Amino acid sequence: MFACAKRTRDLGYRYAPGDISIDGRRGKDGDVRIRLTAMNLSLVDPFVLAQDIPEALIARLRSSGSAVCLRFSRQGDLLASGTAKGAIAIFDLETNGVARKLRGHTPGRQVQSLSWSSSGRYLLSSSVDWKAILWDLQDGSRIRTVNFGAPIFIAELHPTNHLICAAALYEHQPALADLTNSKPKKTLLPTVPKRSSYEQDTLSEKQAAQDAKQFTSVALFTPSGQHIVAGTTKGWINIIEVKTSQIIHSMRLSSKAVVHLRITPSGRDLLVNANDTIIRTIKLPDLTDPKLEPDSIRLEVEHKFQDVVNRLSWNHVAFSSAGDYVMASTYMNHDVYIWERGHGSLVKILEGPKEELGAVEWHPHRPFVAATGVESGKIYLWSVNTPQRWSALAPDFAEVEENEEYIEREDEFDIQPIEELHKRRLDLEDEEVDVLTVDPAKPGQFMNEFHMPVQLDIDASDSEDEMIAIGAGQYRRKNEGADADDMEPDDDTMDDNGVNGTEEVANGSSKRRRGD
């Protein structure tokens, strides 16, 4: 392994191999330090470090129930998931463990959507039990609960005001809710598309009746919060002005229902998934321009993504963090398709689980993707395989691209008198360490960033990575009691580390059963 060895004073040997440099030396305090230096970074593919799309399945997470919807926090450190049983689990992406569990919706009623506030402190959840709940993650309390009087398709928080939300309702008009007071104030929003004067004059009674029958299936705010983009069950896209609650522009994309919408952080690109097996990206005008006239708005379709051979349908769609890529999960298929928007070509198909995938989300800052399994309810995570960085082991590690000749200082390895070393230690003990002063935020850092407190009495982590082997074909959770049930592995739910998937029973007890 080692190419050569050099004798150093009082410390033994210093190795200078082609792979790793091990350097032993004595510090000023008399302690012996060992330095490992990676030498062959040139052997690492530089394109791996510059990748901006995920490439491999890295983990599987399990919440207490089947996960059906996902949402990353704006900072990207937390992942919220809603289950088919009405519970919400928030995962810490540093440890893949459950940081908090929220229960407030009617048990057995599916959570339909999740929406984070810009600070990351508040979370809005909606369910088919007609309710939307605003949570304060500082202590996990419910700030507001609003009953919309109908099952909710999706509910979204205002980008800058967490006390305002918009909701698309089943067979009802969409609503804008003001949660400032204890009794929420709801304002109904229009669904009937806005037509030009010529179209109004030539509109037949049949078309007018069809317009009246459609309802809004999805609605979300633009990044400025001044407008709402809504999709209907007849394939229309409506742009609604929040201030007046009126539609300022309508466009028909398809004869099928619009099921998902996504907007880039810039607010200039719209992603539409309709039930006609076609995914569209649309260029939006600058809706914040005060000189923009509603009659001059023109929505242009930039790209159409579809599988013309297999005629695949798409379950869920999402933009990448920068909006350069479009991602979609497929109906009755276990693949995730990723297209780049420059030329509209397919660049990656993420493979991993052997089950159909439902909701998919792209991390707001990194090439990191999360998706839910339709059958098992697990959460799958894809990311980039990064090379091991030896500099992460200690602050004073130095990484070099090639071997370098080292010339030691004259007194570098001299033995220091014990009295002098003892005096230095005593001087260091007298130093006062300031642990109260908060360093100023770095330029560009989010000033109002919220960090969710650690909940110490949380149930055992729901991450499958917490499973460890205790015998041949037997597994248990880390730090679990001695009465944990033994389990047998299931090939269908085995993860990359040979860990068998398990789940908690609905009543939250410590018993486990075999993976689905």
The domain segmentation of the chain, as residue ranges, is 5-44+390-424, 53-383, 465-510
User: What was the pLDDT predicted at 442?
Assistant: 54
From the list 78, 55, 44, the residue with the least C-alpha distance to 454 is: 78
User: What was the pLDDT predicted at 502?
Assistant: 35
Residue 337 has pLDDT above 80, yes or no: yes
Q: Which residues of 466-496 are buried (b: 16+ CB within 10 A; e: fewer)?
A: bbeeeeeeebbbeebeeebeebebeeebebe
Instruction: Kindly state the helix (H) or strand (E) to which residue 419 belongs, with its residue range.
Output: helix 418-429
Band the pLDDT of 438: cuts 50, 70, 90.
Answer: low
State the Cα angle at 455 between 452 and 457, rounded to 5°.
Answer: 170
- pLDDT tens profile 83-111: 999 999 999 888 888 888 999 999 989 99
DSSP secondary structure string, 150-217?
S-EEEEEE-SS-TTEEEEEETTS--EEEE-SSSS-EEEE---SPP--HHHHHH--HHHHHHHHH--EE
- What is the largest distance, in Å, between two alpha-carbon atoms of the chain? 101
Structure tokens that stand for 343 in this block: 């030329």
Band the pLDDT of 14: cuts 50, 70, 90.
Answer: very low
In angstroms, the first-to-last Cα distance of the chain is 45
Mean pLDDT for all residues in the chain:
77
Topology of 53-383 in CATH?
A: Methylamine Dehydrogenase; Chain H (2.130.10)
The Cα 156–Cα 124 span in angstroms is 7
Band the pLDDT of 222: cuts 50, 70, 90.
Answer: very high
Residue 492 phi/psi, 5-degree rounding, is -75, -20
Given 3-state DSSP classes, what are the helix, strand and coil percentages for the chain, each rounded to the nearest 5? 10, 40, 50
Q: Are strands 314-319 and 164-169 parallel, antiparallel or unpaired?
A: unpaired
Alpha-helix residue ranges (DSSP H) falling in 453-509: none
Least confident of 117-126, 228-237, 469-478: 469-478
The Cα 138–Cα 123 span in angstroms is 11
User: What was the pLDDT predicted at 239?
Assistant: 95
In one-letter notation, the amino acid at residue 3 is A
Band the pLDDT of 450: cuts 50, 70, 90.
Answer: confident
Least confident of 32-46, 264-278, 414-428: 32-46
User: What was the pLDDT predicted at 229?
Assistant: 95
In one-letter notation, the amino acid at residue 283 is K
- Distances in Å between the alpha carbon of 365 and those of 52, 196, 286, 421, 457? 10, 41, 24, 47, 30
From the list 214, 208, 244, the residue with the least C-alpha distance to 230 is: 214
Cβ partners under 8 Å of residue 61, min gap 6: 81, 91, 96, 378, 379, 380, 381, 462, 463, 464
CB 158 within 8 A of CB 167: no
Instruction: Kindly state the helix (H) or strand (E) to which residue 495 belongs, with its residue range.
Output: none
